[in-house]
Structure 1
Amino acid sequence: MQMSAEELRDATCIVCPAQSLPLGHFDVTDRPGPTSRYDPDVGCRVDLVTDVPVCVHPYRVGLPPGQYCSGGVPVPEIPEEPPAPTRNALELPDDVTDLEGWIIAVVRAAGQSRIHQALAAAEEVAGKRFGERAVVTAMRRVLTIELTRQR
């Protein structure tokens, strides 16, 4: 079952191409990295080679990594449960725009029974790199979306 446009916007980062593009009109990679960069003119990450918009959080958009736009890979049905965050997704990002996605990866990897411990640990670790204000902003959005998703 495909998510509605509204559900997709709620499930993804504010800089995700899924905020403005339908599935299939962007690629999905397993994490942020040197092959893509945030382009403020486009409003999302783009691949440095293909110039195609890229989602870097497959566990948020609900699709496995794939070249849906640049390679014409068909968009599969989105499973009930999104893909689990990869080990790479659990590494603290260097860019604050990826902080929200990282916190969600930490929460989902921890599971519902350990969500409070995971949030506390994520807040402490992220605060050392990004500062309190950035962490609180990301945590608010994560809590709004993730806590309702896990009910």
Structure 2
Amino acid sequence: MAEAYVTGDGHRACGICPSRRFPFGEFDVFERPTKECPFNPADGHRYTTDGVPVCVHPEKVGIPAGRYKSENAPLTAEIRLPTAESDLVPYLRELLHSAAPILLEGLIEQATAEIPRAFPDVDVITTLRRALS
């Protein structure tokens, strides 16, 4: 059996989150609870009408809402850099520390490409080091 997406203590995911039982791609992530993913009182979990397990806290699992299991949605994340240089490190720190590990490489690649465009005088490597420390 494949390893659950969330492992170990200290993760922000709820104790009953499907991310603690299934690998990425084996559950969907909704923005919030809806009628499309009702709570099942028999086991304490949420499911789509097709029986796909659903997480309703994307900010806690670090991945955007998506129908990863039911529609085989691709996992993507997009950087939206702040307009002020002084907000850059705090923004990147929050983004990178709360992102799912599966997203980190892509986010760092995007930051490496976008920072020089938005802030030509900023050293990308130094900025990323500060954000990741």
Q: TM-score scaled to structure 1, two decimals? A: 0.44
Structure (1/2) with the larger helix percentage:
1
TM norm structure 2: 0.49
